[in-house]
Amino acid sequence: MQVRSDTYKSTVSIAEKQLLKQHQLKVTIFRLRLIAIFLKQNVAISEREIKKQLGTSYDRITLYRTLETFLKKKLIHKITIDKGETLYALSYSNLNYETSGIHAHFKCTACETCWCVPLDKEMFKYNYIENTFKIEEIEIIIKGKCKKCQTIN
């Protein structure tokens, strides 16, 4: 099934175009479709889920190149969890969070959903760390059961 570009253009929100322009990215129909998928999620999603939401109307190479471009421009970030499982989510700077971008990822061990969880930047202001290392990236994975799964089990 091929999505007609004129039909899709009429349903694009201003937020999608703004995000692409803020990151100095050319606005294309495919990029708009992909960013719309990220905007409607409140969790990190797998490549498989992205493909599922795109349906059959996408080119595999275009998807990989677009994901790489979004990563390079820091529009999205990549989360690597157990056994190399890769998930993608909008970068914190693109969400309306009052945060420095430092965050952890919480993965539910029951439903396997993964959320970005804001962290306080002050947590990492220890003399030893500040005087010894230059932090470039922080990756924290927290595992447990989400509220929904706690009530089920």
Distance of CA 41 to the CA centre of its chain: 9
Q: What tens digit of pLDDT does each residue of 58-107 get?
A: 899 999 999 999 999 989 998 888 777 899 998 865 554 444 567 788 88
Residue 4, pLDDT above cutoff 80? no
> CB of 32 within 8 A of CB of 17?
yes
Candidate from 36-40, 84-88, 92-96, 147-151 with smallest mean pLDDT:
92-96
Q: What tens digit of pLDDT does each residue of 9-31 get?
A: 445 578 889 889 999 999 999 99
Place of tokens 């889920």: 49
Give the pLDDT band (50/70/90) at residue 126: low
pTM metric for this prediction? 0.73
Tokens matching residue 153: 């089990």
Q: What is the pLDDT of residue 95?
A: 52
> CB of 103 within 8 A of CB of 93?
no
Tokens matching residue 100: 């420095």
Residues 57, 29, 61, CA angle at the centre, nearest 5°?
55
User: Does the 5-152 domain belong in CATH 2.60.120.10?
Assistant: no
47-54 and 60-72 helices, crossing angle to 10°: 120
